[in-house]
Structure 1
């Protein structure tokens, strides 16, 4: 293939990454995105292969820049750019390893997929922001693919999405057979799992003000609280759990009577649990809580966000009387505490959240992915996001974006509770660590092959 053809392959891969990943992905394109670069990798030098992989994935990952440019959570400079560069470097390493091992096509395909997955896994467990927006997230609206996560976690989905195009590019029987088996297990196992029914349902309501802003200060004005109380009181009969956004209200009191008393009365009168995001300001510290007002009208329980880069964090789990494990927004970027809740028998997650409009779909789908991993239904309720109700198999039951012209956005649906603890719940990130081990083996093999090629005994004619 001439230079123009190789350049076209890089451009095609970049375009597929751009359209198949990001904040509004086309799921099928994520499967195809790595393919053009893998096809040309064997005809390039090692550095050229790495460069082609970097260029394709880096350019494709700029699809989030239009959001990141105005983001507080992930500002384009420097963090949005850093994330884009890191994705590019990860794919570059995968392509370079694929090219180095191409004499053994099966090992090349498995090694490339393992390296990609291993890097993302290590980043997820060492990064204070966790991880979201990877290839696995692109499949969040394809439940038949997502079921693999109940055994392997998201890492199995990442692996298969990289293995299939790498095996196709090899054009050899053995990698093609392995990829076909992996795909058959993914789709066949997914279809079988989806065929099961979740008979127990719970009516859940998500209620969010379309008014932007963080933590309405209850010391200054209670009008938003009054409006929320009116919306909650108007909910239909049969609702068992209500979720409001993260930091819907704030105060310098740990237990402000202006919030607690009316919420307690309403929960008792209507017979539903209310989960409310609440910011408690204490000196220089801000405590990010979710307050749970039980249907019986008793004292509220307080869940302190487990993962936060600007606020003190908690470690205690809180389960509503109705059986929902409580998390807050960023918590779903990590394996815990959703896995801890599942291990304790919880089949529903109630998650107050706060996003930035354009990233609302992607973040809600990370929550859906967590639900599939651990067999839990998901109630994702938040500000400037996608209000989402999903069953424990990742099927969307009810959904609406916030930010409409009306004062509030509300979603109410009867949600099948999840099947409960899964293989992944029991064994955790076993597949992610397996990919780390496979990567080490593949890199060792590539290093030995390079030393062999550079040794005089590999070129007897030249040495004579």
Structure 2
């Protein structure tokens, strides 16, 4: 087969693997294979061909998400296009750096620098993007607790790096012109990392379990006005559902922005939930759009059977300029509170982890197609910071997961009037190494990527001088 033929075959192979291995409903094992055909091709063709093939493979492989991004309510279309094109460009640059180093006989550096460049760039996006980040390579492994356990030390960035490092190490070892020692070293490092993950065990949670229920409607009612008859009827329907929960439930979580309240109608909502909370002896957590004298907030309103309600105000509202952000964590009976998009960012999850919080209750609302992906983003935050997650999502995937990344129960909304999920959730211990030291691994990836670029550039300069 000619070089153009190999280039086309590698591009198609990577595109197909990316299509099935990433996106909204990935097959996690294929994500490890997806970069391999392009990376095997890279040292065998020109730099320009590498960039074109890598860009085309990733862009075509992401086609399963094009419709979602184009019609997303959370992302303006220019941002959506930037995510799709920017991700493909980043993979192309990572493949280009890999080729650059392998061609200069730096196989181990190539295997490290390419995934490091990818990882640190995504970290930068997570900091700068108003919507944060989700749906990357780390998310593809969210149903593999044995892989996610590394996130307790490195954060999800360690998983992100690893999924690209393994195929890069294999491709570097098989590249033409690589000397024997360099050829073997990358494979030894890969085997050591994967072997360590296989034998590294995380102790089971030592804390007690809490029986949690999630209730989400089949049809989304965003911010139903409690002051109207329809809003009050919706409140009653939730009260009826809570009344039917099995015994022993200690907290129930409803979706994000289930109701809209002001200072007057908030009293009606609290009173209605207080009555059922007392009858069932449980805490009720619901999402509200709360208009107060201070402004308008997307919040989680927690109503205990006794005592005053607690309100957590969402920190991250994306492009919603009419909502004010909150700035403080909030707790009910020792459990943390968050809302939906907050899980796309390092904080407030990190604050809960540093405080040793064992369980976080999260009202959420998604767009059907991204339900699994967003619920698993929340799961990763829990693993990173050592807390279990109760994720109650309208138009999504209500999910209960422990702090080690095991999904205890989940479902998808839409096929019945209300979806109800109940499970005993063991409390995590919080205070992981990641919650203590933060995004140190992402910064390390930045140093490794710079070192890779400097190594290749130095060899280029030396060759010119000769």
Call closer, same or farther: CA 1:421–1:389 in 2, change over 3 Å: same
Aligned-residue offset at 1:254: 6.5
Mapped contact 1:233–1:270 kept (Cα < 8 A): yes
Is the counterpart of residue 173 in structure 1 residue 181 in structure 2? no
Q: Return the match for 2:210 from 184, 202, 221.
A: 202
Is the counterpart of residue 381 in structure 1 residue 403 in structure 2? no
Cα RMSD over matched residues?
1.6
Written as runs of structure 1 = structure 2, the 5 A alignment for 1:105-124 is 105-124=107-126
The DSSP-based 3-state class of the residue aligned with 1:236 is coil
Question: Match of 2:176?
Answer: none
Distance 2:265 2:301 in 1: 10
Aligned-residue offset at 1:63: 1.7
Question: Match of 1:408?
Answer: 418
Is the counterpart of residue 215 in structure 1 residue 219 in structure 2? no
Mapped contact 2:215–2:418 kept (Cα < 8 A): yes
Question: Match of 1:307?
Answer: 316
The DSSP-based 3-state class of the residue aligned with 2:287 is strand
Is the counterpart of residue 152 in structure 1 residue 154 in structure 2? yes
Distance 1:292 1:411 in 2: 19
Distance 2:147 2:74 in 1: 29
Written as runs of structure 1 = structure 2, the 5 A alignment for 1:200-279 is 200-221=208-229, 222-253=232-263, 256-279=266-289
Aligned-residue offset at 1:186: 2.6
The DSSP-based 3-state class of the residue aligned with 1:250 is strand
Distance 2:53 2:264 in 1: 55
Q: Return the match for 1:143 from 142, 145, 149.
A: 145
Question: Match of 1:330?
Answer: 341
TM-score, normalised with respect to structure 1: 0.94
Gap regions ≥5 residues in structure 2: 174-182
Question: Match of 1:280?
Answer: 290
Distance 1:127 1:341 in 2: 22
Question: Match of 2:89?
Answer: 89
Question: Match of 2:42?
Answer: 41
Written as runs of structure 1 = structure 2, the 5 A alignment for 1:23-38 is 23-38=24-39
Distance 1:69 1:123 in 2: 19
Gap regions ≥5 residues in structure 1: 458-464
Call closer, same or farther: CA 1:254–1:379 in 2, change over 3 Å: farther
Aligned-residue offset at 1:269: 2.5
Distance 1:124 1:188 in 2: 31
Question: Match of 1:12?
Answer: 13
Question: Match of 2:401?
Answer: 390
Q: Deviations over 1:155-206 (max 9, x none)?
A: 11011111100111112101111111122223322xx11x535452110000
Distance 1:314 1:197 in 2: 31
Mapped contact 2:355–2:430 kept (Cα < 8 A): no
Distance 1:284 1:426 in 2: 33
Distance 1:319 1:256 in 2: 19
